[in-house]
Structure 1
Amino acid sequence: MSPKQDKGGALAFSPAGSLADVPDTPSGRMATTSVPIHPDLAARWSPRAFDPDAVIIADQLTALLEAARWAASWGHRQPVRFLVGRRPDETFVTLAGLLKRGNSYAHAASALILVCADEGEDERTARYAGVDAGAAIAQLTVEAVSRGLIVHPMAGFDVDGARAAFGVPDGVRPLAVIAVGTLGDYSKADEAVVERDSRPRERLPLEQIAFGERWGIPLG
């Protein structure tokens, strides 16, 4: 992705295309499926090697949040909230400091996003708020992939610390931190990151998760 001057003199970025077109990823990253699926879905994975020099511009970040905003929402409740930090602003630094040690690779991301869910005042809203958050994260992720960006959602962070640091109100649950950025150079990455990112991608076979007629009978 290369910078260029727009007509107003501001720096803009030309699109890099989908992550499916990025060549320097570890082998075997595209999902193996029984029938073809959309390339951006097949290309979605959770890398840990972020380019520490890459910058995400405001329009890119806004596009990801718009994709998340338009995710399906149970009962139109729209309970998902986002707290966004771009490196090196104070929000980013605070979120990075709240990550568990095993997620320290995300300090090199271009942005960190705290995803929260307003659980409302009744059990049903609370139950489905997390479902809405998952849908929003999924749409944000695919939008990022379509733009040549990488995303890594993380549950390993200090929830109480996030609540205190950002004044998250009672009834709103911090669920995840999402790291967003550009794929880094694996020749310069930590050995542990290279090893983890080179592991085969695996999922349960479809016949173990999709049933027909009754539970446990694979869909025909």
Structure 2
Amino acid sequence: MNEISPIDERSAEYAVSPIFLERWSPRAYDGQPMPEDKLLTVLEAAHWAPSAYNVQPWRFIYAIKGTPEFDRMLDLLVEFNQGWAKNAGALVFIVSKTHSAPPGAAEETPNYSHSFDAGSAWGLMSIQAQILGYHAHGMTGLKFDKIPETLNIPEGYRVEAASAIGTQAAPDVLPEALRKNEVPSKRRPLDEVVFKGVFAAE
């Protein structure tokens, strides 16, 4: 396939590394299982993310395409996401531990940044996937009420999101309604999201 080059579609106002412009979230995957060592490399990178007090609240549950675990996890996505994620090479559910014991504390207390830290891990995950030639697409269109029991997630953990990871395919593998959106998205101008000194009202 002739893969779309995000560099042709995007530009940055400042000279960031090209990897940030190359990373995007397609829905068209080729259906090939992702080698487990490649997926574990992606998750290794994710778990080197920074976190408050280095408590590392993230947890990852994964499944490889073609396994019963993949089918079970696919069923935990909403129907729309199942329609395209079924062709991903792997699925990963991202979970965070909501309480932790700061240094010197004897008991765990609510960790204010558990979701923030898990999101940091997801960001590194998506970049490492890109470096290896894969694409990761995060999503929160999930059946959240069914996930804890199905995936044996105990109390004290929050399901944050899921990610499909795989090798990109041509858009024609998607339903026709999705094909027109299968392009790298752009970003708002930097001055709409970055403020010097104080927040600027929109």
| TM range, smaller chain | 0.7 to 0.9
The structural deviation recorded for 1:166 is 1.4
Q: Counterpart in 1 of 2:141?
A: 156
**TM-score, normalising length: structure 1:** 0.81
Partner Cα distance (1:73, 1:23) in 2: 39
Partner Cα distance (2:97, 2:132) in 1: 29
Partner Cα distance (1:73, 1:213) in 2: 25
* 2:29 pairs with 1:50: yes
Structure with more relative contact order (C-alpha pairs < 8 Å, separation 6 or more): 2
* 2:48 pairs with 1:39: no
SS in structure 2 of the partner of residue 98 of structure 1: coil
Partner Cα distance (1:188, 1:102) in 2: 15
Cα distance change on mapping 1:118 and 1:29 into 2, 3 Å: farther
Cα distance change on mapping 1:29 and 1:132 into 2, 3 Å: farther
SS in structure 1 of the partner of residue 181 of structure 2: helix
Q: Counterpart in 2 of 1:122?
A: 109
Gaps of 5+ in 1: 1-21
SS in structure 2 of the partner of residue 192 of structure 1: helix
Q: Counterpart in 2 of 1:144?
A: 129
The structural deviation recorded for 1:28 is 6.8
Partner Cα distance (2:163, 2:77) in 1: 11
Q: Which amino acid aligns with 1:207?
A: D
Q: Does the CA contact (< 8 Å) of 1:48 and 1:197 recur in 2?
A: yes
The structural deviation recorded for 1:30 is 4.7
The structural deviation recorded for 1:184 is 0.9
| Aligned residue pair count | 192
Q: Percent identity at matched positions?
A: 28
Q: Which amino acid aligns with 1:192?
A: A
Q: Which amino acid aligns with 1:116?
A: V
